[in-house]
Structure 1
């Protein structure tokens, strides 16, 4: 499969249980919603960015991006619920994804992913750093990944992102700036 075009999605559909139910993507990090930081970093690499969210749709839309919800058929599958919605919506050959709770991520990290995806367009490529794998910072080939993900969700009871990646082929790309990949999971990390 050729790398022809790239869109990007901010994954903001989680339940935010560690944040007392507050919608993480809308929480302010340095006076700006976290989802906005991530979307801006994605825009430098992908021509079109949208947001996957299941609550506060109007608030996310005010950030200036189209918002899509999870498909009811695939709800409650963790991040894979959002991923199937994003792959279904994408109109490009490849889709870049990033979680809304990594506001320190840079456009350089996404440029590195894009370069790797161009070199290996049939594979899912994701970031890895000194702290481990970061499978939600990734680029996926849309058509084959969507087909495989729907099959995976029908057959598997455990909906782990890396387990899905292993079924269709993936490769990691090392990113040296580990601090950029910090997930903000508690209010104290919002500073």
Structure 2
């Protein structure tokens, strides 16, 4: 899935889990030929390249909803290390009627990989619910601050556009109509 926070410190994705506990999120092939590469060990640490292997997606026993969380150092403000945090685990069931995301069970048809699952609207919604619970208050504050900066910039852009419109000879009636207000309100705001 690869949903990333605006500041780049959190990335959400669905990883395949094998019976030995290794996880993977790189895929190749389709249908019966689809494979996933093991990338993480039992503890979530990254496997060395020579320890990685390609396995059939049909060997997947569960799916781990993970967030790759980067840390920021207090002194430099730069990204430091990262860790893969498991937010939820869904056991793979063999029949669609056995699926219950809230109970930790998900159905994946033969040949279906985690990317296919994360494209399902119900799975994506469940993933986002877990991720929202995971994000720290500091992360939420950063998102709010970024949204406020974009809002302030948009207001400044409107002010510039009004000044350019007035310089081009547009009336307060035209400007009011374009900005969803009366002529008088537009004139009071921007004159």
Higher RCO (C-alpha 8 Å, min separation 6): 1
**Higher Cα radius of gyration:** 2
TM-score (norm 1): 0.30
